Amino acid sequence: MKGSDRYRGLKKVFTFTLQQMFRNKSYRGVLIALFVMGLFSIPLMVLTNGGGIMDIDDPTETAGGVAHVYVVNDTKYAFDPAALATGQFEDIPFEAAEAIPEDTGMILPTDAYVVISGKGKQVNVDVYTAKLAAGSSLADRTVALVQQLALEKSGLDDAAIMALSKQVSLDNLTESQYTDSRKVSFDVQYGVQLIYAIVVMMLSIYALSYIAQNLAEEKSSKLVEFLLISVKPGALVLGKVLACMLFVLCMMACMIAGVAVSWVVSSRFLDTSVVLQNFMLAGLSSSMFSFGFSVGAIVVFSLALSFATFSLLGGIFGATSNTMEDVQKAISLPMVLIMAGYMVSIFGAVSESRTAAAVLSLIPVVSAFTAPVNYVCGNISFGLLALSWAIQLLILAGLAVFGGRVYEALLIHRGERVKLKELFSLAGRRERRAS
């Protein structure tokens, strides 16, 4: 059979299935519900993390809750406090002060104190604020300003100051130190693993259940025999699987769009900084998302592999069901596999052993949840990740071949749901005949 013949009608099956999914009220309801969930996510997080409604006219809201900055300069440098009033602090009054009041009761929660002190050539900058994020930003500005003043005082011209201001860092590391330096902190690794495992689990479970439902619906409609005149079993199943996969991606997109809209809108009137602060405390900092294009490609490829694997599993197990009632029973095994992969990946992330990371990255199913995270976090080499991909690709190809063998028999099978043992028997029978 020519390849083109084998997949004739695939596009029509795909288009029709997707079209009907979008026309179906309950499927549309799911998309809307996910978008709405996304919309509510940020306000809910703000409120549950102790944030509140932001007064747009209040400059302290943009300045991280700081309303007044006092600068205590104990150095010989002529420091103008107003020079710090830039960016998020531009609407905040900066004032010189002699010292931090001894009576701390005099200090308001919205006050910030920048203390510049020096002994010999050493200059120290200390910032005291109620909120960490604002303090860190104030300290960075003050240090930069002090450095510039020191260079100006030494009589250098602007060009020399600019050249000296360029930061050059030096790393002198042994091989093991270098490898360790690639490792991210435990908190970050756990955070990344948690997020990635949740994404894989959501994609897999949704794909599995939607595909299985669609195939069972196809079989229970008793149309399969009529359709098989026009399309081959592989094309019929693949068309449905691909349509369901795209629908699941649309579901994810709806949720992400909801969160994005929510973030943009919420940040205009809610104090969203509390959400970021809590993420930072949980190890989920913005640095996690600044891995670059290559890591992004690795994550996307790994996600696509797991998504395709669990979708094909959904196709096979869905085709074993003859009625909608059978679907839940049929997908219980792959569902358990997904849950097991998720749980092992979460518990495995606690371990800091490289051997454990390597093993978890190679075990089928679990590797779908762990391999890219272990690579990104520096626990395994690219070679090991490639080996993990190769194993996953082999499984995917195996599932595709297995599915190709059993779809024909499964689609026109009637009666009780086909059990796992019978499934293998069907594939074996087909093989014998082919030989």
Partner 1 sequence: MGLEVNELFKQYGGKTVVDHLSFRMDEPGVYALLGTNGAGKTTSIRMMLDILAKDGGTAIWNGKPLSVNTCNIGYLAEERGLYPKYALMDQLVYFAELRGVSKADAKKRISHWSKRLELDEYLYPEQHKQSQLQTPARRGMFAGSKKEKPKLADQLSKGNQQKIQFLAALLSDPELIVLDEPLSGLDPVNTDLIKNVIREEIAEGKYLIMSSHQMATVEEFCTDITILHRSKAVLQGNLNEIKKGYGRVRLHVKTEQDITRYLQEAGIAVMSEKECEYELRVTGEEQANALLFRLMNDHVTIITFDLREPSLHEIFVEKAGEADERE
Q: Which range of residues in 79-87, 214-222, 252-260, 372-380 is near partner 1 by CB under 8 A?
A: 214-222
- Least Å distance, CB 20 to partner 1, is 5
- Written as one letter, the residue type at 289 is F
Q: Which range of residues in 36-44, 190-198, 220-228, 309-317 is near partner 1 by CB under 8 A?
A: 220-228
- Written as one letter, the residue type at 429 is R
Neighbouring residues of 124: CB distance < 8 A, sequence distance ≥ 6: 115, 116, 117, 118
Neighbouring residues of 116: CB distance < 8 A, sequence distance ≥ 6: 71, 72, 73, 74, 75, 77, 79, 123, 124, 125, 142, 146
Structural tokens at position 432: 């014998």
Told to check if 5 binds partner 1 by CB under 8 A, we report yes
Half-sphere exposure at residue 257, Cβ-oriented, CA atoms within 13 angstroms: 12
- Written as one letter, the residue type at 246 is L
Half-sphere exposure at residue 2, Cβ-oriented, CA atoms within 13 angstroms: 3
Compare residues 241 and 255 and give the one whose CB is closer to partner 1. 241
Which residue in this structure is represented by tokens 């391999």?
Answer: 371
Whether residue 99 contacts residue 73, with contact meaning beta carbons closer than 8 Å, is answered with: no
Binder of partner 1 out of 61, 111, 217, 326 (CB under 8 A): 217
- Least Å distance, CB 231 to partner 1, is 6
Told to check if 165 binds partner 1 by CB under 8 A, we report no
Binder of partner 1 out of 28, 222, 268, 419 (CB under 8 A): 222
Smallest CA-to-CA distance from 163 within 154, 153, 145, 151 is with: 151
Told to check if 419 binds partner 1 by CB under 8 A, we report no
Site string for partner 1, 375-414 (x = CB under 8 A): ---------------------------------x---x-x
Q: Which range of residues in 14-22, 111-119, 159-167, 337-345 is near partner 1 by CB under 8 A?
A: 14-22
Q: Which range of residues in 100-108, 219-227, 315-323, 327-335 is near partner 1 by CB under 8 A?
A: 219-227
Distance CA 362, CA 389 (A): 9
- Least Å distance, CB 221 to partner 1, is 5
Alpha carbon dihedral 98, 102, 105, 111, in 10-degree steps, equals 30
State the number of binding residues for partner 1 (CB under 8 A). 26
Site for partner 1 in 224-243 (CB under 8 A): 225-231
- Least Å distance, CB 230 to partner 1, is 4
Compare residues 18 and 357 and give the one whose CB is closer to partner 1. 18
Compare residues 33 and 228 and give the one whose CB is closer to partner 1. 228
Alpha carbon dihedral 38, 42, 48, 54, in 10-degree steps, equals -150
Told to check if 430 binds partner 1 by CB under 8 A, we report yes
Site string for partner 1, 127-156 (x = CB under 8 A): ------------------------------
- Least Å distance, CB 433 to partner 1, is 6
The length of the chain, given as a count of residues: 435
Binder of partner 1 out of 7, 16, 128, 291 (CB under 8 A): 16
* CB atoms near residue 328 (< 10 Å): 14
Sign for the pseudo-dihedral over CA of 173, 356, 284, 366: positive
Compare residues 226 and 293 and give the one whose CB is closer to partner 1. 226
Smallest CA-to-CA distance from 203 within 292, 297, 326, 300 is with: 300
Question: Given the rule CB under 8 A, which residues bind partner 1?
Answer: 5, 9, 12-13, 16, 19-20, 23-24, 217, 220-223, 225-231, 408, 412, 414, 430, 433
